Structure 1
């Protein structure tokens, strides 16, 4: 039986209410947009790039986009395999049951196929989570307890009466705490939170949540650690994820507004460019064209249009600068 492992914070209900309102607005905007599928594709590419990059994958967003399109990519074979696996796992979301242990293990197998010998199997040794300096941050649960703990956790998820945003964040934390696999625990934790949220509202399968986590990666690990020390209380991590979810929906709203208000094919392209640049503001025009599967000339025209309309500006040089996406009204 899973004991209580988090305390509620008084600000959560108001923040969740904001999230629900945003979900309604974004869903309405998506229904009006002619390019909703393109935005979803861009966010999926960003999610895969971010979730694998958090774990050290060196492939660029442009390279991940080429993999999504079935194109050739030059890079470390392990990194390419890891990205292909991530796409397979996210594509399988609709077939996964968030309360089912077999599906949990199967999803891990999809994420780590060809990367580790224990793909799709609970670990059979004890593990430590080590920080950048080599210090032990956390010791995973004893390996012989892992199957029972995961089973109890997913049973708890199935019967939990808290809000899905709180429950999914709490589950994400406890997956990282148990550390049920030799490798891939971060990826499966983020995927499983997305799965639980998408069962509540399907839009969450396409929101740029992982992209926001990557942008505040230090905060992600800090929130995990604060939730373990001096004793387990996942409230800090839940608060962190609520903020990430809120900001990811604000970002999706910006993408959707751009798609609807600019209208037609150009509006969809504008929104897609903004979505990609929110994920990686260092991309060049050539790399943007690669991700979006269009010509550099088309991207140059789109960038000029976005700058002229005040939605985009450039800071720094052509080679080492970055793009700044400007929210309307700011």
Structure 2
């Protein structure tokens, strides 16, 4: 018996509850801080936060699977889904599909899980695909569903999922477990434990021809949102993408046994880091609003345009810092005007300057009070 689903105790997962209790406590505490912080955002900034986190999750959950999406098209599609102002940019099938799935996940976080919901998500994800036999339904092929790597003549099998002919029973059991372990279910589980097991459990069944990873991570986010009683703005896929090699290694090890303590510890640590990422975004948006309020009436339209462009990059900042040449490109200002505008922004405390001559760069100053 090589895989977890072949063990006699499948799907009765075991874990060290005592080891996970302090992480669950931290998750609830950090979740409360995030929820409270969001209340300090104005309506526009709440929209920005929602679109940014959802679009980042969509981008990164796709990148984990090797699919690169267009960020601007994706954000435009998400804004359209929420009825927000957009640039009417045309989105491709992949961007449109995952935007629809992520917004449905956000809006319907508290709904029970079912075949119908997963079929909808799969159909949305697979928009435009013509190479799959089953879209919006579970796989039916007779050959083994395997995760492999290496050359064709000597592939390495990392995992083999249950046969297609047993999926109806497997998924019926999975849905029952997920709904019964919800906070209002018959057998509730702590949020991190439930979200971590849900992901591993679903990935072990691997019910679709493609898209299992993206849907599995969405199911985890659904569980986390239900645990907090709020639509999920946890940047889970952002963190998983940063730890992609460790993620695949942890999943591979967990697929061999039904004692899932090590997997849950890894997963919980990743979720906690994801919460901190979201909090950084909230802190950034609050600081951004305060900075712009303090500068009102003190800067010219060119300077405002440049600051807003820098702020679009979020808490990680303008990559490499802003140069005078960048400023000219953004604003159309001549070189001498650009240098003067930038010096004024430094004097006002909006920017800090590093380097000299061609190496001079400017960085947003958020959190400090601009000069009077």
With normalisation by structure 2, the TM-score equals 0.69
1:27 matched to 2:16: no
Q: 1:326 to 1:179 in 2, by over 3 A?
A: farther
For each residue in 1:211-231, what CA deviation from the matched residue of structure 2 results, as whole angstroms up to 9, or x when unmatched? Answer: 1111111111111011023x2
Q: 1:312 to 1:111 in 2, by over 3 A?
A: farther
SS at match of 2:39: helix
Distance in structure 1 (CA, Å) of the matches to 2:252 and 2:354: 37
Give unpaired runs (5+ residues) of structure 2. Answer: 1-8, 79-85, 182-187, 294-306, 333-337, 368-372
How far residue 131 of structure 1 moved from its aligned partner, in angstroms, is 2.5
Q: Structure 1 residue aligned with 2:26, among 12, 18, 22?
A: 18
Q: 1:28 to 1:313 in 2, by over 3 A?
A: farther
Residues 64 and 244, structure 2, Cα contact 8 Å, conserved in 1:
yes
How far residue 6 of structure 1 moved from its aligned partner, in angstroms, is 3.1
1:167 matched to 2:207: no
Q: Hey, what does 2:259 align to over in structure 1?
A: 233
Distance in structure 2 (CA, Å) of the matches to 1:171 and 1:325: 41
Residues 199 and 217, structure 2, Cα contact 8 Å, conserved in 1:
yes
1:157 matched to 2:178: yes
Q: Hey, what does 2:101 align to over in structure 1?
A: 89
Residues 98 and 104, structure 1, Cα contact 8 Å, conserved in 2:
no
Give unpaired runs (5+ residues) of structure 1. Answer: 74-79, 290-294
User: How many pairs does the alignment contain?
Assistant: 302
Q: Hey, what does 2:65 align to over in structure 1?
A: 55
Alignment of 1:271-310 (within 5 A): 273-275=313-315, 277=316, 296-297=330-331
- Structure with the bigger RCO (C-alpha within 8 Å, sep 6+) is 1
SS at match of 1:56: coil
Q: Structure 2 residue aligned with 1:120, among 136, 142, 164?
A: 136
With normalisation by structure 1, the TM-score equals 0.77
Greater helix share, 1 or 2? 1
Q: Hey, what does 1:76 align to over in structure 2?
A: none
Residues 179 and 185, structure 1, Cα contact 8 Å, conserved in 2:
yes
Q: Hey, what does 1:140 align to over in structure 2?
A: 161
Residues 313 and 326, structure 1, Cα contact 8 Å, conserved in 2:
no
How far residue 139 of structure 1 moved from its aligned partner, in angstroms, is 0.6
